[in-house]
Structure 1
Amino acid sequence: MEFKDYYAILDVPEDADTKAVKSAYRRLARKYHPDVSKEENAEERFKEVGEAYEVLSDKEKRAEYDQLRKYGNRGGDEFQPPPGWDGWQQGGAQQAGGSESDFSDFFDNLFGQRRQRGGAGFSSAGFGGFDDFAQRPYPGQDVELDFPLFLEEVMAAEPKEVRFTLRAHDEQGRPKDIEKSLKVRVPKGVNDGERIRLKGQGGPGGNGGPNGDLYLKVQFAPHPDFDVDGHNLLLTVPLAPWEAALGGKIEIPTLAGRLQLTVPANSHAGARLRLKGKGLPQRSGQGDLIAQLKIVLPERPAEGDEAAWKSLAEHHPHFNPRTKWR
């Protein structure tokens, strides 16, 4: 069985903290998202990145994986855990909800059994024998899936399609796959990391028991222009030195289109301008767009630039922007 080097997959060092792991995941998830990526094997890479994040973002899973990575034999094509390793579940496992795992055999062999609800299984004691117990209705398993969203999808009112596979059994007890497709409307005000519950859309119950629930874990995909702070959007706005000094109107992007931003005269680098109601939807109202100013010099000085800067320095002989250091 092929060993999975999750650190190499996310391109992070072994001592990467949780923030670095999450940042790497969000960057790669956007790069390989099947809806937008033109990369070769994008869907396969997208799943691989998700699997690596599942392990490295979880403290317990990561600790166990690090031990296996350190002491296991990775020589050749067949990975072998260290002698006496209790956690290895040879032959694979099924994910929660009874469905076949979206993760690799390596992941399922290491963590699969612990993804199932109920621990070591049921005992027939107290149920009048196994046959009697087997006829009792039992609920289906809950299922949790990642639900990646672009910021534009958070703003939109259109539902988003979710496709997944559930494992069920026919009347003879033989396993079968159920392909499901749902149109999910993104709740207003949903935030990164929240879970959306879809009642009865999880694993099928048995003997007339209720279906489990489907939980969608919201994950905001990275945006090339905006960072997210709660329901606020953060935008870095580059300014030429003269734009900061003289002020004026400039055009900036928002998720709802472009608009004019008024820059006050004598603006400083790092200053923040708040545009109310131009952020992400909240359950009541709308977040803000916060524009942080950044002063940028021309890449190639033109003739006369040096003289102009020297003239400016001569006009302000006593100005020292570092007086607070004294």
Structure 2
Amino acid sequence: MAATTRDFYESLGVSRGAGQEEIQSAYRKLARTYHPDVNKDPGAEDRFKEISEAYSVLSDPATRRRYDAFGADFRQVPEDVDPETWARARAGRGGRPGARTGAGPSGPAGFGEGVDFEDLLEGLFSGRAGRAGRSWGPIPGADQEAEIELPLEEAYRGGRHSITVGGRRIEVNIPAGVTDGQRIRLAGQGGRGGDGAPAGDLYLIVRIAPHPRYRVEGRDIHLRLPVTPWEAALGASVAVDTPAGETKVKVPPGTSSGRRLRLRGRGMPNRRGTPGDLFAEVRIMVPPTLSDEERRLFERLAAVSTFDPGRRR
């Protein structure tokens, strides 16, 4: 998992009051710029991990609320802690309640120098009386997040996948048809609990790697379908490769370049609902060189045809 060293809103270049559409738009723009597959700059991969972590937090309303309340400490703070109590405890031990960035020498980002994170937790939760006289007992482990990048074909068919988190090797069962940004919950695989309390959960955020042939939007898959001029003019059944294997696309007579042909239900699977569709965008290709016979036939077609798409006659 990427370390939290920067304000997530700053990482995406949005204000703290930004809506979900603005956050998603900012992430997509930055991801296209810094994805390691398209940006070979030495710092691109770290920047991509940073913006991906920021998006994974801010795109989830519940996680975003915790981040807004606790800042960089949101993963360490147990679920039932009151933000005001947390802020007072930090302030009382030399912390800076308003800080969310920068890592001090003795604890996670958001703490002032000399503030020990474990000591602060102990002061809040190790059996001392809490708010309204409440006593804190064993502390459940914190939930954690990590990203998992999958090739489109693996996301399509699902299956077993290994991932390393915090030095641990975990086997994950990826459901068929996972989409970009989808969260997979692994119960009990998060942070360890204290005093015998249960461990937290691990949430895997799926990222689908860019593909040279396919483009994915939600559950829909888009691809380009190259056809010959005569297939476009006369109609044809054209073979096309899809993540599920080869299939046939019917090209209607008189098809022009740019026309999208829809194959219902041939997009990403959906075990809980309707699968996506596959869209094949027609691209009419011409031979780079012509044989004498081909040239003769094309010249004959040019002589007899009255078709004029630009209406130049």
Give the TM-score range, shorter chain: 0.5 to 0.7
Amino acid at match of 2:28: K
CA distance in 2, matches of 1:86, 1:286: 41
Matched with 1:204 is 192
Where structure 1 has 5 or more consecutive residues not aligned to the other structure, the ranges are 1-15, 33-44, 62-84, 95-111, 166-178
CA contact under 8 A between 2:128 and 2:135: conserved in structure 1?
no
Structure 1 residues 293 and 306: alpha-carbon distance in aligned structure 2, compared to 1, 3 A threshold: same
CA contact under 8 A between 1:135 and 1:207: conserved in structure 2?
no
2:133 counterpart of 1:124: no
Amino acid at match of 1:124: G
Matched with 2:289 is 300
SS of equivalent to 1:28 = coil
CA distance in 2, matches of 1:268, 1:193: 35
Structure 1 residues 315 and 181: alpha-carbon distance in aligned structure 2, compared to 1, 3 A threshold: same
2:263 counterpart of 1:264: no
CA distance in 2, matches of 1:22, 1:229: 15
Matched with 1:273 is 261
Structure 1 residues 87 and 27: alpha-carbon distance in aligned structure 2, compared to 1, 3 A threshold: closer
SS of equivalent to 2:37 = helix
CA distance in 2, matches of 1:221, 1:305: 42
SS of equivalent to 1:260 = strand
CA distance in 1, matches of 2:151, 2:34: 14
Matched with 1:106 is none
Matched with 2:149 is 148
CA distance in 1, matches of 2:252, 2:281: 13
CA offsets 1:244-283 (integer angstroms, 9 cap, x no match): 1122222110112212222222111111222223221112
CA distance in 1, matches of 2:220, 2:178: 12
CA contact under 8 A between 2:214 and 2:221: conserved in structure 1?
yes
CA contact under 8 A between 1:26 and 1:221: conserved in structure 2?
no
CA contact under 8 A between 2:155 and 2:174: conserved in structure 1?
yes
Displacement of 1:201 in angstroms is 0.8
Percent identity between matched residues is 31
Structure 1 residues 322 and 219: alpha-carbon distance in aligned structure 2, compared to 1, 3 A threshold: farther
Alignment of 1:1-326 (within 5 A): 18-26=27-35, 28=37, 49-56=44-51, 58=54, 87-89=101-103, 91=105, 112-113=109-110, 121-122=120-121, 124=123, 128=128, 136-165=137-166, 179-282=167-270, 283-303=272-292, 308-309=297-298, 311-317=300-306, 319-321=308-310
Displacement of 1:184 in angstroms is 1.4
Displacement of 1:296 in angstroms is 1.9
SS of equivalent to 2:174 = coil
Number of residue equivalences: 235
Structure 1 residues 93 and 244: alpha-carbon distance in aligned structure 2, compared to 1, 3 A threshold: farther
CA distance in 1, matches of 2:293, 2:303: 15
CA offsets 1:285-311 (integer angstroms, 9 cap, x no match): 432221110112222344466665554
CA contact under 8 A between 2:267 and 2:278: conserved in structure 1?
yes
TM-score when scaled to structure 1?
Answer: 0.59
Where structure 2 has 5 or more consecutive residues not aligned to the other structure, the ranges are 1-24, 59-98, 112-116
Matched with 1:107 is none
Matched with 2:10 is none
CA distance in 2, matches of 1:310, 1:141: 73
CA contact under 8 A between 1:244 and 1:268: conserved in structure 2?
yes
Displacement of 1:24 in angstroms is 4.0
CA distance in 2, matches of 1:238, 1:25: 30
RMSD over aligned CA atoms reads: 4.1
SS of equivalent to 1:249 = strand
CA offsets 1:188-226 (integer angstroms, 9 cap, x no match): 443211111112110101112221110100101112211
Amino acid at match of 1:197: R
CA contact under 8 A between 1:237 and 1:292: conserved in structure 2?
yes
CA contact under 8 A between 2:35 and 2:45: conserved in structure 1?
no
CA contact under 8 A between 1:196 and 1:215: conserved in structure 2?
yes
SS of equivalent to 1:159 = strand
CA contact under 8 A between 2:36 and 2:48: conserved in structure 1?
no
Matched with 1:169 is none
SS of equivalent to 1:291 = strand
